[in-house]
Amino acid sequence: MRSIFRIFFFLCMLSATYSFADSCSDTSCSMVQEASSCHPCFSAPQQEIPASPENQEKTFRCPSYRPTVEAQDLLPPQGELSSGAFSETYPDLTTQAVLLLFLALSPFLVMLLTSYLKIIITLVLLRNALGVQQTPPSQVLNGIALILSIYVMFPTGMAMYNDAKKGIESNAIPRDLFSAEGAETVFVALNKSKEPLRSFLIKNTPKPQIQSFYKISQKTFPPELRQQLTPSDFVIIIPAFIMGQIKNAFEIGVLIYLPFFVIDLVTANVLVAMQMMMLSPLSISLPLKLLLVVMVDGWTLLLEGLMISFK
């Protein structure tokens, strides 16, 4: 019985497959006949219908592709490369490296070659002398030092700008910095604007510091460089200026610490005399320090003294 049922099911599936294939062939044939312009062989030729915009067949155009672009098409000819035309458009690698190095070191140059160094060291020492480690925050102190440095360096900056403008006003300023013309313009501007900066560094550097570094250079530099060096060269006055600013900042810090040290000492002795060793001296001395700063207007005196100290 089971074998009879299997044979019957197989015959049903076979007949269904043939009927489905016949229906598909008939449908596809009719679709082809409708889409083609030819008539079946058994049908009589029909009269052609004149073409009109309504019954015209739609034509499809193949998409057009642009020709492929190779790397050699983007480069100039080999003759121009060998003649140096490409090097005239872009500076050499040494010039690009110098420009990138200057741009990377510019924040450090601003901090070390301006009044920023002395001001920030003094403000940090004042905060430590008060005994408050995070008030004002470091970001606030850096902002105050930066604003005061801009105020102090404004005359020198304007003088440098005017000298650089006079040096490059005859030449057209290039649009691209990293080009041969851009590198040349940057070097010309730096060369023309260095004298006001040199004057500022010499005026605000102690003479003993300049003489000390000049003597060290005469002992350590090669003989061919010793004859060309002068005390006014940047290689001498820049380290002398930095050391002088640090020295002046610590001298101001000593003067700031003295009154606060006296307050701490008196407060500690009073607490010991009253046998109140369990009480922190900072809780008593800190309000007294803040009161002293407010009474004498310490912030104004300190900042005015810092700005006046620069020439």
Q: What is the pLDDT along the chain (311 residues), one digit of tens a residue?
A: 555 555 656 666 655 554 544 444 444 444 434 444 444 444 444 444 454 444 444 454 555 555 565 655 555 555 444 444 444 555 567 767 777 787 788 888 888 889 999 999 999 999 988 888 778 888 999 999 999 999 999 999 899 888 878 766 655 565 555 555 666 677 777 788 888 899 999 999 999 999 999 999 888 888 888 888 888 888 899 999 999 999 999 999 999 999 999 998 888 888 888 888 777 778 888 888 888 888 888 888 899 899 998 88
Specify if 5 maps to a domain. no
The CA-based angle 218-246-161, given to 5 degrees, is 80
Specify if 216 maps to a domain. yes
Cβ contacts of 131 within 8 Å, gap of 6 or more:
260, 282, 285, 286, 289
Q: Which of 130, 119, 120, 121 is nearest to 257 (CA)?
A: 130
Specify if 221 maps to a domain. yes
The confidence score (pLDDT) of residue 45 equals 45
Task: Please tell me the total count of domains within the chain.
Answer: 1
Specify if 135 maps to a domain. yes
Cβ contacts of 136 within 8 Å, gap of 6 or more:
127, 144
Specify if 104 maps to a domain. yes
The confidence score (pLDDT) of residue 78 equals 52
Specify if 226 maps to a domain. yes
Looking at residue 260, its amino acid is F
Specify if 261 maps to a domain. no
Specify if 227 maps to a domain. yes
Cβ contacts of 293 within 8 Å, gap of 6 or more:
130, 299
| Structural domain boundaries, residue 201 | 87-253
The confidence score (pLDDT) of residue 73 equals 56
